[in-house]
Amino acid sequence: MERCAARRAREEERRVRANAREYNEKFQYASNCIKTSKYNIVTFLPVNLFEQFQEVANTYFLFLLILQLIPQISSLSWFTTIVPLVLVLTITAVKDATDDYFRHKSDNQVNNRQSQVLIGGVLQQEQWMNVRVGDIIKLENNQFVAADLLLLCSSEPHGLCYIETAELDGETNMKVRQAIPVTSELGDTSKLARFDGEVICEPPNNKLDKFGGTLYWKENKYPLSNQNMLLRGCVLRNTEWCFGLVVFAGPDTKLMQNSGRTKFKRTSIDRLMNTLVLWIFGFLVCMGVILAIGNAIWEHEVGVCFQIYLPWDEGVHSAFFSGFLSFWSYIIILNTVVPISLYVSVEVIRLGHSYFINWDKKMYCAKRRTPAEARTTTLNEELGQVEYIFSDKTGTLTQNIMVFNKCSVNGHSYGDVQDMLGHKAELGERPEPVDFSFNPLADPRFQFWDPSLLEAVKLGDPHVHEFFRLLSLCHTVMSEEKSEGELYYKAQSPDEGALVTAARNFGFVFRSRTPKTITVHELGRAITYQLLAILDFNNIRKRMSVIVRSPEGKIRLYCKGADTILLERLHSVNQDLTNVTTDHLNEYAGEGLRTLVLAYKDLEESYYEDWAERLHRAGSAPEAREDRLARLYDEVEHDMMLLGATAIEDKLQQGVPETIAILTLANIKIWVLTGDKQETAVNIGYSCKMLTDDMTEVFVVTGHTVLEVREELRKAREKMMDASRSVGNGFSYQEKLSSSKLTSVLEAIAGEYALVINGHSLAHALEADMEVEFLETACACKAVICCRVTPLQKAQVVELVKKYKRAVTLAIGDGANDVSMIKTAHIGVGISGQEGIQAVLASDYSFSQFKFLQRLLLVHGRWSYLRMCKFLCYFFYKNFAFTMVHFWFGFFCGFSAQTVYDQYFITLYNIVYTSLPVLAMGVFDQVQSKSDVPEQRSMEYPKLYEPGQLNLLFNKREFFICIAQGIYTSVLMFFIPYGVFADATRDDGAQLADYQSFAVTVATSLVIVVSVQIGLDTGFWTAINHFFIWGSLAAYFAILFTLHSDGLFQMFPNQFRFVGNAQNTLAQPTVWLTIALTTVVCIMPVVAFRFLKLDLKPELSDTVRYTQLVRKKQKTQHRCMRRVGRAGSRRSGYAFSHQEGFGELIMSGKNMRLSSLALSSFAARPSAGWIETLRKKKGSDGSAAGSPSATADKMLKV
């Protein structure tokens, strides 16, 4: 990694001089090198160790290691702790280093991109990281912008250029940027090399839509705005080249200012385990104190009498000091309640779960050849606890592809295809698409399924012709024809491009335009219309119109816009047609399509001349220009004649509505955070079924001030409370909420609500004094959509929910504008889509389609959570059962810190005898069969996901139950053999009770009991489970007999003194009866409790398993699923991502090349055989739409 900018003092303003590196370097501005990695070679070891020792357990084991190095108190060898500790630290460090290596690799890939920099009057290839503030760089078409640039000039007229900002705000529609006039003529490198202007502007900030500055050049100053800036992350489109002056570089760019820091993520189970380790350490200290006091008392009362036989160690001169040393000895002996192997096992299990995700063929996208990838191994079980999902829209929920799907013309609906029986054909039953091969200018990618519309065009239906004539004329699309017949449309918004493409395929081809004309090929005949006026779109008008003069001299206004606006402006003679078209609009809206109404109006020559004169005066007015123009637009756009309506499908990714529906049933709340406009986001909300007409209310918050936003949120809460009171819930509203835990009665209200809030309103809602009110209102709603939000606001919303709700959050997105929220959420998911790989590189998990999210959570997440909880419960149980025997033994050995088991058993218990069976359960237990339900049932019954959200399977209560069972087992494990051995004798009549025989009996009982217990806990038996469980038992007996063998005694007589003890002990029937009795008494209560619980209080998973068994006995019944249309409120799809001002730009001619100012007169290719090849077919004129009653618009602007 090359040098990157260091932190500097906060800037008040930025001064940048072009072509003056020495001048700019004195300000120590950041270079263009970016850094998203956490470590480097020098900082890796200290920083990583610091992070790892934030884990309480690691600090705890380090402390124990230090104790074991003190010979006076150590009763176990130091290597029993240091080896596992180093192993855990090493495994974690290697994993972290690997993750950071890929971040470094990504940084290097970006930093080493090539850019053309003007140095010494010559363009030179430089790496991005070597670009400096004040450099002039050249960009070419389809290149990424390397830094935040002031646009100086371009290949387009008047210094215009087109950019795509998907990496910044998620929008893929083109936007226009323009150089200031004084620099737009600097078209060659010699002029640019002499350019020495100085920019004084605002300091680096994260506001994507604002920029303020001034250019000083040749003793003049020129104001600069956001329209003059090209931001890093944008892509240059439809522009051959442009030059820009670097103003902000690297970490100072707005893209990087909106990227959050890489955070160290821990799961809730990790945090809980930290707490439990502290509690266990407290419990350990209490046991040590009790045993130390016992040692001091015993030494004072009894041990002092046996000093001749049992002298105190050197340096011990009192019973009190003996007790003090005994305390530390017992701390070391009893530390196995939390062995270091627990953390090794957890990491191994998580690694296995990650591989299961990577290997899942059902999450593999064959089209893109992209598998799912777990990019981290530390968060798998948290996938089973998600409560809030924050999703981007563009590229995440949608494919960002607009398709002309249906239309209504003069009361006839086109787009539905009927089968032989006259029923609507489903998608899989559709015939071949309409054949447009007769049209040489048709777009081969366009598809339409209803041939009757093409027949109407060919038969000369005047209404259909006028319909497509409107679509070919009323727009702001630019056409580029690189060779004759090869048309490329530069559409400002993808929906407008879809409409013009539809007209093109049906024979009305928009060919070219000048500031005053539009040329259209109508059914093969070139016709040039005089363009008199463009009545531009804006968010208030929600419509656009053009006024054209036909070659015959007739003046006509064509208008398209939102149905809620346009239907009010129709002539009264359209009433019957309006009713039919309204029914069609309801039908289209019910299918989630974006609707648009088309109308026209003929204008008298005299009226138009008078109106045009008034328009000219209004356009030249120094004051209230916009208001005057709006009044004139409104005047002419009345008494229009209805032509019909269009329905565009903003194609969702496959399976999005079903995925959202299933996740909602799993009690997961989904919030959409998008940079798109409100209309777009709301429409997608309806399409993916987040918003429905069955909702009680949809609140829209659009306030521009703090007071307005507060009032709108208050009204929304009051409406929800009033509705709840009206059904008798009787809640009392609490105005103030605890900041520690948000527990609002609003979350229990009756009815379903949704909240839509704009970015400027959200900025106020996220302020400290209003954030709780906003969150309370939002959490009471079933769906939340935040529009026009910046990347930083996305992260702030996620952080707000994390702060107050204490819920597990997941953020999913596909673009660089989603990186900040992906890093902020507990779990970040990146979709490898069309907006680059920045989101994937910052994510914890990645795949190619949103629909895989349900499998990631409901199958892999749920299974990982269940496995981890079962593993932890069993692990704490077996270690308390193992360790607490030492505590009971202390009361019978004079509190001398003598261990029950030999040193080798203590060392091998967690490493060999019990580690592999629990790992097999944690990794290979597929959580199906008798213990749970198969994977398909996990998605059929989403409520099975709720135990993870409520943290039911491993919490403080479950932990205490586990240690209680472990303590209960340890009591029986010690006292049953103790009681038996008190009076038992061998076969030869000798006393059975000796220390080594007792140790072997207790150890054997322990291994058998915990093996039987894990057998009960294992739900899905595989060969691996059998091998590990029975193999561990076999290994125990093999090692036990080996340690007591003659061979080892002869090689190491001082280490293995008890020759033949194991063989002699286990040869006694009394010992085996004792082991059997201990096993039965320990296990039977567990079996009885589970049986009674299943019978008396079954869980949902038990009910599902029972249902499965019943279904298997019955004949399989196939259900036929039918599509059900939704009748209800319509949503206009017009110009959702459209920008105001394009019409004025076209009319001014600024975006036209000089060669385009002449009328385009390409020879029309004759379409031979149009009429001759026409084959008349039988069929209806298109399925008549049903007429569901239009429901009231639920979109309430509070």
Name the E strands within 579-684. Answer: 594-603, 641-652, 669-673
Task: Please indicate whether residue 392 is annotated as part of the active site.
Answer: yes
Q: Max CA-CA distance within the chain?
A: 131
790 Rama class: left (phi>0) / alpha (psi -120 to 50) / beta: beta
Give the C-alpha distances (Å, rounded to integers) separating 1192 from 697, 700, 1174, 1197: 11, 16, 44, 14
Helix (H, G, I), strand (E, B), or coil: what is residue 1119? coil
> Is the distance from CB of 357 to CB of 860 less than 8 angstroms?
yes
Give the β-pairing of 160-164 and 235-237: antiparallel
As a three-state string, the secondary structure of 442-504 is CCCCCCCCCHHHHHHHHCCCHHHHHHHHHHHHCCCCEEEEEECCEEEEECCCHHHHHHHHHHH
Judge whether 839 and 375 are in contact, CB under 8 Å.
no
Backbone angles phi, psi at 203, to 5 degrees: -70, 170
> Is the CB of residue 110 less than 8 Å from the CB of residue 217?
no
Distance CA 845, CA 376 (A): 7
96, 169, 252, 392: the active-site residue: 392
Q: How far apart are the first and last CA of the chain?
A: 52
Picking from 1144, 1138, 178, 1140, the residue whose alpha carbon sits closest to that of residue 619 is 1144
Task: Map 1041-1062 to HEC letters.
Answer: HHHCCHHHHHHCCCCCCCCCHH
From the number of C-beta atoms within 10 Å of its C-beta (0-12, 13-18, 19+), residue 959 rates as buried
Beta strands, E only, 505-554: 508-514, 517-522, 525-535, 543-549
Question: Collapsing DSSP states into helix, strand and coil, what is residue 811?
Answer: strand
Contact 913, 1032 (CB under 8 A): yes
- CA contacts within 13 A on the Cβ side of 844: 30
Positions of E strands within 944-1070: none
Rounded to whole angstroms, the Cα distance separating 1066 from 986 reads: 11
Residue 85: name the closest of 346, 339, 379 by CA: 339
Instruction: Give the pairing type, strands 386-391 and 669-673.
Output: parallel
Q: Which class for 95: exposed (0-12), middle (13-18), buried (19 or more C-beta within 10 A)?
A: middle
Helix, strand, coil share (%) of the chain residues, nearest 5 = 45, 15, 35
For residues 48 and 39, give the distance between their C-alpha atoms in angstroms, rounded to a whole number. Answer: 8
What is the signed CA dihedral for 855, 366, 823, 775, rounded to 10 degrees?
A: -50
Other C-beta atoms closer than 10 Å to the C-beta of 686 total 23
Contacts of 922 (CB under 8 A, 6+ apart): 345, 349, 352, 867, 868, 870, 871
939/641 Cα distance (integer angstroms): 51
Structural element, H or E, at residue 243:
strand 241-248
Cβ neighbours, 10 Å, residue 717: 20
> Do residues 590 and 1130 lie in contact, with contact meaning Cβ atoms separated by under 8 Å?
no
Q: Shortest CA distance to 1170 belongs to which of 525, 527, 550?
A: 525
Catalytic residues: 392
